[in-house]
Amino acid sequence: MADAWGLSNFSQFSSDYRKLFGLCPSASLKARRAVAPVNRGSRTAPPLKKAWA
């Protein structure tokens, strides 16, 4: 699935993500899960709103 988004080098993605957002992807995910309401019908959190839209 990651290949569909052009993510073949995960360490480079993580490095670029950290430079852009100031924290690693896993920390962002943990923070998102900590504040997202629990959706009992699904195992995933609701989609994030785009900050640039």
Q: How many residues does the chain have?
A: 53
Q: What per-residue confidence (pLDDT) applies to 19?
A: 93
Q: Is the dihedral of CA 23, 24, 25, 30 positive or negative?
A: negative
Q: What per-residue confidence (pLDDT) applies to 33?
A: 80
Q: What is the mean pLDDT of each run of 10 residues along the chain (53 residues)?
A: 75 90 89 71 63 58
Q: In whole angstroms, how far apart are CA 21 and each of 4, 13, 16, 35, 44?
A: 22, 12, 9, 18, 22
Contacts of 28 (CB under 8 A, 6+ apart): 17, 21
Q: Which residue from 53, 39, 5 is spatially nearest to 25, judged by alpha carbons? A: 5
Prediction pTM value: 0.54
